[in-house]
Amino acid sequence: LSPERSEEQMKQGNWLDAVFATSYDIEQGTVLPFLMELPGAPLNGRAATGAGAGPSARSVAPADLLASLKMNETLFKRLLYAVMQAVATRRKVYIALDLPAEEITAGAKELLRLLYAALPYAFRRQLGFMTFAKEPQAKKGVHLQFVERGTLRPKDRNTEKDFTFDLATGRVTHAEVSVAQLPYAEF
């Protein structure tokens, strides 16, 4: 997308439902063409585009979403704090959802929608994320990673200074409960 169009998409928020290319023919050239719109997921046999299209158009109550992911409001506020700190500093956030591996990406997208709705715009436009990784691994520009359950081991040197949210075991590091009472979290 052009820089102007990309900024507009970021404000709308429906880009989480974009369909990404899974292959590329190098014979077509080495430069990807600019898009006017993001291609959306098929909806009843046709591509979904526009502000109200795709799964983001459905409204799931935040409390129901958090309950389905085995989170409560306090834990979500701690996660929000960790994500804001990760964007502002060099620390990373690793989340192990208590879901089977094939459902992690879908659960991650739903949680990301909720995070994006709660984050200030300046943080939203800088946040880099991965919706699935087998193991936690620091990558430049990626602040938030969703990993398979069982991969966030206590006292792991790769993640000892980062924020970890292991929802399967209930273990959270570096995001104390007191951050849930910060003024922004209450707002």
Nearest-angstrom CA–CA distance, 133 and 149:
10
CA 112 to chain centre: 4
What is the pTM assigned to this prediction?
0.80
Closest C-alpha among 45, 12, 20 to residue 131: 20
> Mind listing the pLDDT tens digit for each residue in 129-185?
998 888 898 899 999 999 998 899 888 888 889 999 999 999 999 888 888 787 877
Residue with tokens 């739903």: 110
> Mind listing the pLDDT tens digit for each residue in 76-133?
999 999 999 999 998 999 999 999 989 999 999 999 999 988 998 889 889 999 988 8
Give the relative orientation of helices 104-118 and 73-88 as an angle to the nearest 10 degrees.
80
